[in-house]
């Protein structure tokens, strides 16, 4: 889904594209941003392919991007943005634990990461800082990053999930959503054999003995994520 092309309502304002698969989130962000004198939402999309088309059509100054999208996830879309629109700033807005995802997002080329649980005014702060050429993360992640550079510590060393690649984490999340192997293959446009290979790697890295344990672990993690 793509909304209007930028018109007079964006004159003199920074144009923002919102990519999120929840209509309420898209509407809420639009209402929040369009109240500002210097910012305006120029387009909306709910998944990667329509999002990339919306970037081409609307030429936004910045993209707000959710990680959990229908089909390929936000990190996959971020990879595509960096290939096709290398200088376009991206703010990741997600419900997912920043201690697991923030570092991944920044490594993939995001300019900032903010959780949906944060106060709405922080979204505006993050947008303006990024548009000003800065990186935006929470104080907690900023402090962890300082420790990472000063002490050489792994930012996400407390979590075995940090050992998963971005694609493996995406498969793990879809397993937790109750998707079967063939469904995951269809969503990610992969072969069943490739998905099975990812599942095997995940089990090995998380020290899980069976497919049943993998499903239970993934569901438990998803429930914890959504209730956080």
Q: Are 198 and 171 in contact (CB under 8 A)?
A: yes
Q: Which two tokens stand for residue 13?
A: 């304002």
Cα gap 71→88, rounded to integer Å: 22
Residue 153 lies in a domain: no
Shared-domain flag, residues 27 and 121:
yes
Position 225 scores a pLDDT of 65
C-beta of residue 11 within 8 angstroms of C-beta of residue 40: no
CATH number at residue 168: 1.10.10.10
Total-model pTM? 0.69
What averages of pLDDT result for each successive group of 10 residues across the chain (228 residues)?
54 92 93 95 95 96 93 91 95 81 85 85 93 85 60 50 84 87 89 92 88 84 64
Domain that holds residue 180: 160-227
Q: What is the pLDDT of residue 36?
A: 95
| Positive or negative torsion for Cα 134, 135, 137, 141 | negative
Same domain? 37 vs 118: yes
Tell me how far apart the alpha carbons of residues 74 and 79 are, in angstroms, rounded to a whole number: 9
Residues 94 and 139 occupy one common structural domain: yes
Q: Residue 156 has what pLDDT?
A: 44
């Amino acid at each position: 889904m793509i909304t209007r092309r930028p018109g007079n309502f964006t004159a003199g304002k920074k144009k923002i594209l919102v990519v999120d698969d929840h209509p309420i989130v898209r509407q809420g962000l639009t209402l929040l941003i369009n109240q500002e004198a210097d910012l305006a939402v120029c387009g909306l999309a709910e998944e990667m392919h329509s999002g990339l088309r919306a970037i081409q059509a609307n030429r936004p100054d910045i993209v707000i991007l959710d990680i959990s999208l229908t089909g390929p996830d936000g990190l996959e879309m971020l990879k595509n943005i960096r290939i096709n629109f290398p200088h376009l700033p991206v703010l990741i807005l997600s419900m997912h634990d920043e201690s697991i995802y923030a570092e991944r997002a920044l490594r993939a080329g995001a300019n900032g990461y903010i959780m949906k649980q944060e106060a709405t005014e922080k979204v505006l702060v993050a947008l303006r800082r990024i548009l000003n050429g800065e990186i935006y993360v929470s104080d907690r992640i900023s402090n962890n990053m300082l420790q990472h550079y000063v002490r050489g510590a792994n930012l996400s060393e407390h979590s075995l999930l940090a050992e998963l690649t971005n694609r493996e984490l995406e498969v793990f999340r879809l397993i937790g959503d109750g998707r079967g192997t063939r469904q995951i293959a269809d969503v990610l446009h992969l072969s069943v054999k490739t998905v099975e290979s990812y599942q095997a790697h995940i089990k090995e890295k998380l020290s899980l003995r069976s497919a049943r344990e993998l499903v239970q672990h993934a569901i438990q993690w998803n429930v914890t994520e959504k209730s956080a």
